[in-house]
Amino acid sequence: MSYILDALKQSERQRSRHPAESGQPLPPEPGGPARMPFYRRWWWWLLVILVLALLAGYGLGRIGSGWLELSPAPPLPAAGEQQAPQAEAEPEPATAAPPAPVAERGPIIIDSPPVRILVDDPPALSLTAPGPVTPPAPPPASAPVVAPAPPEPPFDPGVPDLRELPANIRARLPALTLSVHIYSATPASRMANINGQMLREGQQLGALQLRSITPRGVILSFEGQEFHLNSVGG
């Protein structure tokens, strides 16, 4: 690096002496301070950058070489060590053993004791008398099929219904409400509540007469015309 700097300084001195040796007059300097040309100012900066780049490359080269020296290559086995396993792997030739003398055949005597096979312990014998054997329960008998009840015949009181009366008779009838209806096979136990009054068969309710109490309602008589009045559930 010092050789480069000396060469640059020497070339600069030669350039500064060249105008004086040629005999040409130097241009007059202005009144203000002299300014260096543009290329001369940048010349020193380029020189400094070049020197720094060289120093950086030199330092990186030293670091890289040191890193390579720190990671040694795996050692190669010696030639003698490589040949040793091969020598050990070669088996020695087996020598033929002399044939054993054939013994004369005779009776074979087995001195070992007989082999016994152990099994699980037998179940303990019970001295008590066995209990009575319960016979299996018979399968449940299928439930008898119940035949459906025959349909109930339609009820016929023998007189027309209230809704079947002529219009002139229905217009003269009062409003009728059958709130209680008690029917029994015994005529004395039958009762009905019509328009809030409890009546038995044969009793009178104004112009109406309770002629009979049926399973579905009551039979009333009005001006000689009998008709049937159904109960709430009839």
Average pLDDT, the chain: 72
DSSP H or E segment with residue 20 = helix 2-22
Single pTM value for the model = 0.37
Within-domain flag for 194: yes
Residue 193's pLDDT is: 93
pLDDT tens for 71-111 read 555 556 555 455 544 545 555 555 555 555 555 555 554 45
Confidence of residue 69 (pLDDT cuts 50, 70, 90): low
Burial per residue of 101-111, b for 16 or more beta-carbon CB atoms within 10 angstroms, e otherwise: eeeeeeeeeee
Within-domain flag for 167: yes
Closest to 158 (Cα-Cα) out of 219, 224, 223, 74: 219
Rounded mean pLDDT, 14-20: 61
Task: Point out which residues pair with 210 in neighbouring strands.
Answer: 220
Within-domain flag for 218: yes
Closest to 172 (Cα-Cα) out of 212, 211, 217, 206: 206
pLDDT over 50 (residue 232):
yes
Within-domain flag for 102: no
Within-domain flag for 185: yes
CA 22 to each of CA 11, 15, 49, 88: distance values in angstroms, whole numbers, following the listed order: 17, 11, 34, 92
Confidence of residue 229 (pLDDT cuts 50, 70, 90): very high
CB within 8 Å of 207: residues ≥ 6 apart: 222, 223
- In this structure, are residues 166 and 172 in contact, taking their beta carbons and an 8 Å threshold? no
Structure-model confidence comparison of residues 148 and 204, the more confident one = 204
Within-domain flag for 143: no
Structure-model confidence comparison of residues 106 and 187, the more confident one = 187
Residue 32's pLDDT is: 46
pLDDT over 90 (residue 218):
yes
Task: Point out which residues pair with 208 in neighbouring strands.
Answer: 205, 222
DSSP H or E segment with residue 69 = helix 38-70
Lowest mean pLDDT, pick from 108-122, 196-210, 214-228:
108-122
CA atoms of 41 and 59, how far apart (whole Å): 28
Within-domain flag for 193: yes
pLDDT over 80 (residue 202):
yes
- Number of folded domains that form the chain: 2
Structure-model confidence comparison of residues 67 and 228, the more confident one = 228
Within-domain flag for 171: yes
Give the domain range for residue 56: 1-9+40-68
Burial per residue of 154-186, b for 16 or more beta-carbon CB atoms within 10 angstroms, e otherwise: eeebebeebeebeeeeeeebeeeebeebebeee
Rounded mean pLDDT, 48-65: 84
pLDDT tens for 30-45 read 544 455 555 566 777 8
Structure-model confidence comparison of residues 6 and 176, the more confident one = 176
